[in-house]
Amino acid sequence: MLPPIRYPLPTLVLLVVLGLLAWRGEVMTRPLRSALTTRWQRQFEGPPVPNSTEPKVVVGPIVRKALLLHDDVSTSDRPGGTPAEPIRLRMFVDIYDVWPLSGSPDFYRVGNRRPIGWVRASDLLPWETRLVVHAPEGETTSANANIQADQPPLKSLPALPVLTWTADSIEVATWDDSLPWQSVNRHRQIQIADIAPDDWGVWISRPELLSLLRRTGPNPAEPAKLTRLRAILGRLSDDRPFSAQDQAAATAFLPAQVFTSSNNPLSILESNESLARANENWKPEASWGGLSFQFLPLSALP
């Protein structure tokens, strides 16, 4: 038998107070406990893996993009996680997140209109635009290729993607000679002064070329400079409008040479005729995902 409670009323009041403190205290201390838990996890598990819902923006309408280098690219829900359903066909993709958060990324979270998953950096080429160049005469795409002394210098084929740039130079990706547009050999710098105007171009698919033809026909729906900008950014199949701020931001960001690629720029109708000839003489340099692609000189654009 339990001993009698000597002071029943004070004891009851104390128990009620302790119960209220335990109930309200759990709610009141929840933010503190959550912060401590998060800090503990960061200490032992590292920073949280990002999970963005929109592609990373470079500037204005330009978002981070990449080209998958082959079909059946493996994806996962976390960097280095268990492989999930692969991306069956290679394509251009948007970049939503990178991992690790600092330094050179080992993984990219990619998607097309929506996030798909994390892929290894070796499976793609980060490339925000469709700008390409032919290397200056006398230079080749391979680090180890040699030109015979008795042979005339040739322009590089295939075209080289322009990855980054400064006021004086550009950085391009060069291809393995046996696997152009599939295996990156190295990155290298080219002086802008060494690039001829006709060696600047855009990497374009046949459907995009047909879209260019429609956009440069009679009664064009938008200014010539905007059509050129769409081609450079790979937005010919995207009819979403550019605001004046978007156009200004993109123009200021891109190399000045892409808007002054010719001393005698073509009018809309002259460009349409030049594009029609390119369509008639279409010679694809690479194909994937059911599409064929080739170099189109910027001088052919309005």
Query: Whole-angstrom Cα distance, residue 78 to residue 126?
Result: 19
Are residues 87 and 183 part of one domain? Answer: no
Are residues 133 and 67 part of one domain? Answer: no
Are residues 193 and 76 part of one domain? Answer: no
Q: Tell me, yes or no, whether 9 lies in a domain.
A: no
Q: Tell me, yes or no, whether 32 lies in a domain.
A: no
Are residues 217 and 73 part of one domain? Answer: no
Are residues 135 and 100 part of one domain? Answer: no
In degrees and rounded to multiples of 5, residue 288 shows phi and psi of -165, 155
Region at 130 (left for phi over 0; alpha for psi -120 to 50; beta for the rest): alpha
**Global confidence as pTM:** 0.79
pLDDT of residue 48: 86
Q: Tell me, yes or no, whether 290 lies in a domain.
A: yes
Question: How many domains does one find in the chain?
Answer: 2
What is the 3-state composition of the chain as percent helix, strand, coil, each rounded to the nearest 5?
30, 25, 45
**Domain assignment of residue 110, given as a range:** 57-126
Are residues 68 and 193 part of one domain? Answer: no
Partnered with residue 95 across adjacent β-strands are: 110
Q: Is the dihedral of CA 188, 189, 194, 198 positive or negative?
A: positive
Max CA-CA distance within the chain? 114
Are residues 137 and 246 part of one domain? Answer: yes
Are residues 287 and 163 part of one domain? Answer: yes
Query: Whole-angstrom Cα distance, residue 28 to residue 32?
Result: 8
Q: Tell me, yes or no, whether 26 lies in a domain.
A: no
CATH number for 107: 2.30.30
Q: Kindly give the confidence (pLDDT) of every residue in the chain, 302 residues in length, as a single tens digit, with 9 standing for 90 and above.
A: 556 656 577 777 777 777 776 766 666 667 766 776 666 655 555 678 899 999 999 999 999 999 999 999 999 999 999 999 999 999 999 999 999 999 999 999 999 989 999 999 999 999 999 999 998 865 555 444 444 444 444 444 789 999 999 999 999 999 999 999 999 999 999 999 999 999 999 999 999 999 999 999 888 888 989 999 999 999 999 888 999 999 999 999 999 999 886 666 778 888 899 999 999 999 999 999 999 999 999 999 98
Are residues 186 and 119 part of one domain? Answer: no
Q: Tell me, yes or no, whether 193 lies in a domain.
A: yes
Are residues 133 and 122 part of one domain? Answer: no
Q: At what angle do helices 268-280 and 206-215 cross, to 10 degrees?
A: 150
